[in-house]
């Protein structure tokens, strides 16, 4: 087993051999740009780690890991268009740096490139990877649509929100881990269990992202802090604040705030954060992050791997829970 940093280094080296500008330049330059912007490389690291955990050479999983990373970045390019987001990882988004049409087409190409990477595997592994990938990609689209629908709904429930983030974010984390297990030819039971571990971890990861969107440090977060508030997104923070205010004056005021689009967003962000803290929603979100992380850890007991490997996965999960970016 390698350290997380070593997996990251190995993956980035492989990515650099893949990410080159070809012709036509206006199609491939945006792809190289988004892939080189950095980020946590969480998903490909999980794919490499999972292959290693189940006894295979992690290098055999590099193409699967790259596929997950290319797909993830494709989804970010299109999400940023839909959200009209100016920044991604502290840099201009693709549609801002080029234009919307270029971002759409380059994103489309990335989705195709993600599938092409499975062609490097033998037929049985290719089939299992492609089946999982197709299922996951469709669920990510469903999650994105739920997210869009929620923006205009006033009756979103906490269970609905959790389903949305499971589809939009968690299933890709889960698939990343299962892909590593598929490449390593782990048992079906272990494949399913590592998927569950990744799914719970992915939900915790997205709840942490929601929390950092409101309370993160702009210098380390990489995205516009308060972006969810500006866009009136019904995040876990917002929904729990409504729940705790129990239909009172604070509930009405918060609902009105999240139906507004003021020119001065600074005051809106500040007021929303006050509601989140005063209602207990901010603290409830931190508890939910911990609860889903612990659910992920509980699944580890069912895996047929050594205690040292379980401990490494727990360390990884704990670091995610305590991240600031």
**57-89 burial by CB neighbour count: b if 16+ within 10 A, else e?**
ebebbbbbbbbbbbbbbbbbbbbbbebebebbe
Q: What is the pLDDT of residue 325?
A: 59
The chain-wide mean pLDDT, for the chain, equals 93
- Per the rule left: phi > 0, alpha: psi between -120 and 50, beta: everything else, 2 is beta
pLDDT value, residue 246? 81
- pTM for the model stands at 0.91
- Comparing 148 with 128, which gets the higher pLDDT? 128
Alpha-carbon distances of 262 from 32, 70, 91, 259, 269, rounded to whole Å:
36, 36, 25, 10, 11
pLDDT for 162-192, tens place per residue? 999 999 999 999 999 999 999 999 999 999 9
pLDDT band at 320 (very low <50, low <70, confident <90, very high): confident
pLDDT band, residue 324 (cuts 50/70/90):
low
At 225-235, the pLDDT tens digits run 798 999 888 99
- Give the whole-angstrom CA distance, residue 132 versus residue 137: 9
């Amino acid at each position: 087993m390698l350290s997380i940093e070593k997996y990251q280094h190995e993956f980035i080296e492989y990515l650099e051999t893949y990410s080159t500008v070809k012709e036509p330049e206006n199609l491939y330059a945006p792809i190289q740009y988004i892939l080189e912007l950095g980020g946590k490389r969480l998903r490909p690291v999980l794919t490499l780690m999972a292959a290693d955990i189940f006894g295979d050479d992690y290098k055999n999983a590099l193409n699967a890991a790259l596929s997950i990373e290319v797909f993830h970045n494709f989804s970010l390019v299109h999400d940023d268009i839909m959200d009209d987001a100016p920044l991604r990882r502290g840099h201009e988004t693709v549609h801002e740096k080029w234009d919307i049409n270029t971002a759409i087409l380059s994103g489309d190409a990335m989705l195709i490139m993600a599938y092409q990477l499975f062609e490097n595997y033998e037929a049985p592994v290719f089939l299992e990877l492609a089946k999982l990938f197709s299922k996951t990609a469709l669920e990510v689209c469903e999650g994105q649509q739920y997210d869009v629908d929620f923006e205009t709904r006033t009756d979103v429930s906490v269970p609905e929100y959790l389903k949305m983030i499971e589809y939009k974010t968690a299933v890709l984390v889960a698939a990343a881990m299962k892909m590593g297990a598929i490449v390593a030819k782990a048992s079906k039971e272990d494949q399913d269990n590592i998927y569950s571990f990744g799914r719970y971890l992915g939900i915790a990861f997205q709840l942490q992202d929601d929390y950092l969107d409101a309370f993160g440090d702009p210098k380390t977060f990489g995205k516009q802090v308060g972006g969810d508030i500006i866009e009136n997104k019904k995040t876990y923070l917002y929904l729990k604040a409504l729940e705790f205010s129990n239909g009172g004056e604070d509930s009405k005021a918060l609902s009105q705030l999240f139906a507004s689009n003021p020119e001065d967003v600074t005051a809106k962000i500040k007021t929303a954060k006050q509601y989140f803290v005063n209602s207990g929603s901010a603290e409830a979100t931190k508890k939910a992050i911990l609860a889903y992380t612990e659910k992920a850890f509980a699944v580890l007991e069912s895996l047929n791997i050594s205690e040292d490997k379980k401990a490494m996965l727990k360390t990884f999960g704990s670091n995610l829970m305590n991240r600031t970016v």
